[in-house]
């Protein structure tokens, strides 16, 4: 694994005190390695597989569909009659084929079979004329020969998935549609990666848990709840260590316990340069530090590295550590743009970049070059399909309502300055993210 001292040669613009976002992401990517070996996988039932990461390729044990069937409601017949046919074709209806109730006989020349979507194609039939193209008079149907070609509207056996071919690849995060796909193959359980463990806590003497009374100078801890929700959405196992007070002994104990219990440790608060912020000193004594500050707003103070639980760095259990800022919006921004990718990679998931959309600014935005900004925005699409975005208003990193009011991040890249009305920007939608 790359050490902090090697980063200056492998990451462009390496500066542990003011790292560009792209460089920070590259460093985190270098350190976030998935588990290896058979011990990292477990078998789960389908109902427990949603959101889990597939440990191995899922190979289809059958052809899907298992038999040739009709793609729509209509009439099945042998497509050869279309060759050199007159303008109008007339056929006698010999019977009906329903899904699960096939028509077993082969229709004779000049005959067809009424067929429903998904029904087994009758013997000798390879073409289906949709019912809306047919005029029926008793048991006789007529349709224009130019309305279709031979073989049309038939789904072939194995057309979707062929027996012995991969249905889903290792590293895929199982979605609702995947459960249906697996069930359609008759698969009752799958091998998934074991969940990584993430311990998290907040720091600060001023913090109170929900349900406790507030005293002058205190405030409720919101960060643990947003962290819990974001971690839950990623499907990791969470360990809530509560609130840690602002003293070195308490923080050291919390970091050692978290490192013993988890693969990743996340704290919020305590990474700035205040007199009571001990995280930096402890990181230097307990582990390797990759960087302390990122050239981003919100979220400039962000510590990243590796901790060890032993008496010195390199001994005992180890865990990656993210020391996030204390302001609520900064916690969410740094989580999604720095932490999220690392947790997915450690879970063995395939790379899932955040969705970005181009939008036009509906109002000017102030920004100085030299840092990436993630402003909270409200995006709408007009009747022509063009996206437009404005900010939610005040963009302070402590204004948590700016996240609740928004439906996207507005990404203002490192080199960009002020943005005017009508300028193009990138937005990252919250839908499916927060």
**What are the residue ranges spanned by the domains of the chain?**
4-35+194-346, 40-64+159-193, 69-155, 357-429
- Cα 133 vs. chain centroid, distance in angstroms? 43
Phi-psi region of 314 (alpha: psi -120 to 50; beta: other; left: phi over 0): left
Rounded to whole angstroms, the Cα distance separating 226 from 330 reads 11
Listed residue (50, 14, 41) closest to 304, CA to CA: 14
pLDDT tens digits, 191-241: 999 999 999 999 988 889 888 898 998 889 999 999 999 999 999 999 999
Question: Which position has the higher pLDDT, 399 or 380?
Answer: 380
Average pLDDT over residues 413-420: 94
With the CA atoms of 414, 419, 424 and 429 taken in that order, what torsion angle do they form, in degrees rounded to the nearest 10?
A: 70
Q: What is the mean pLDDT of the chain?
A: 89
Cβ atoms of residues 284 and 305 within 8 Å: no
Residue 287 confidence (pLDDT): 85
Is the domain defined by 4-35+194-346 classed in CATH 3.40.980.10?
yes
Residue 14 confidence (pLDDT): 59
Listed residue (76, 136, 71) closest to 111, CA to CA: 76
Our separate counts of H helices and E strands in the chain read 9, 26
Give me the CATH code for the 40-64+159-193 domain, please: 3.90.105.10
| Most distant CA atoms of the chain, gap in Å | 93
CA angle 356, 361, 364 (to 5 degrees): 130
Residue 65 confidence (pLDDT): 92
Pair of tokens at residue 163:
């027996």
Cα–Cα distances in Å, from 289 out to 33, 117, 283, 300, 411?
A: 17, 61, 7, 16, 27
pLDDT tens digits, 116-158: 999 999 999 999 999 999 999 999 999 998 889 999 999 999 9
| Fold equal for 40-64+159-193 and 69-155 | no
With the CA atoms of 422, 359, 391 and 330 taken in that order, what torsion angle do they form, in degrees rounded to the nearest 10?
A: -130
Q: Which residues pair with 425 in a beta bridge?
A: 359
Cβ atoms of residues 413 and 365 within 8 Å: no
Give the CATH architecture of domain 357-429: Beta Barrel (2.40)
pTM: 0.83
Cβ atoms of residues 295 and 372 within 8 Å: yes
CATH superfamily of the domain spanning 69-155: Molybdopterin biosynthesis moea protein, domain 3. (2.170.190.11)
Q: In b/e form, how buried is each residue of 336-354, taking b as 16+ CB within 10 angstroms?
A: bbbbbbbbbbbbbbeeeee
The percentage of residues in the chain with a pLDDT greater than 70, rounded to a whole number, is 92
CA angle 63, 65, 69 (to 5 degrees): 140
Residue 395 has pLDDT above 80, yes or no: no
């Amino acid at each position: 694994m790359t050490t902090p001292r090697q980063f200056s040669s492998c990451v462009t613009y390496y500066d542990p005190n003011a790292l560009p976002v792209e460089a920070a992401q590259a460093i985190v990517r270098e350190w976030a390695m998935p588990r290896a070996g058979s011990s990292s996988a477990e078998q789960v039932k389908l109902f427990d597989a949603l959101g889990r990461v597939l440990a191995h390729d899922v190979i289809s044990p059958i052809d899907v569909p298992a038999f040739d069937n009709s793609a729509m409601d209509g009439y099945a017949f042998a497509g050869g009659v279309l060759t050199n046919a007159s303008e109008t074709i007339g056929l006698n209806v010999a019977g009906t084929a329903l899904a699960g109730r096939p028509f077993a006989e082969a229709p004779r020349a000049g005959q067809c079979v009424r067929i429903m979507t998904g029904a087994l194609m009758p013997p000798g039939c390879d073409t289906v004329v949709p019912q809306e193209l047919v005029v029926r008079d008793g048991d006789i149907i007529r349709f224009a020969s130019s309305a279709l070609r031979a073989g049309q509207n038939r789904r072939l056996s194995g057309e979707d998935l062929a027996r012995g071919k991969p249905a889903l690849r290792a590293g895929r995060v199982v979605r609702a549609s995947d459960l249906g796909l697996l069930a359609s193959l008759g698969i009752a359980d799958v091998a998934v990666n074991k969940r990584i463990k993430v311990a998290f806590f907040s720091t600060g003497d001023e913090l109170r848990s929900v349900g406790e009374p507030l005293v002058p100078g205190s405030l409720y801890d919101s960060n643990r709840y947003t962290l819990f929700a974001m971690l839950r959405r990623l499907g990791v196992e969470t360990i809530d260590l509560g609130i840690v007070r602002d003293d070195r002994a308490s923080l050291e104990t919390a970091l050692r316990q978290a490192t013993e219990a988890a693969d990743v440790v996340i704290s919020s608060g305590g990474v700035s340069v205040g007199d009571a912020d001990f995280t930096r000193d402890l990181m230097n004594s307990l582990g390797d530090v990759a960087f302390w500050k990122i050239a981003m707003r919100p979220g400039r103070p962000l510590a990243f590295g590796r901790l060890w639980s032993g008496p010195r760095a390199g001994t005992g259990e180890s865990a990656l550590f993210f020391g996030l800022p204390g302001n609520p919006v900064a916690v969410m921004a740094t989580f999604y743009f720095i932490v999220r990718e690392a947790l997915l990679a450690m879970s063995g998931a395939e790379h899932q970049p955040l969705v970005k959309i181009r939008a036009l600014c509906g109002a000017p935005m102030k920004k100085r070059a030299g840092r990436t900004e993630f402003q909270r925005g409200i995006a709408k699409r007009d009747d022509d399909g063009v996206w437009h975005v404005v900010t939610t208003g005040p963009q302070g990193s402590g204004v948590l309502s700016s996240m609740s009011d928004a439906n996207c991040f507005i990404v203002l890249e490192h080199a960009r300055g002020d943005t005017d009305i009508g300028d193009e920007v990138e937005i990252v939608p919250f839908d499916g993210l927060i």
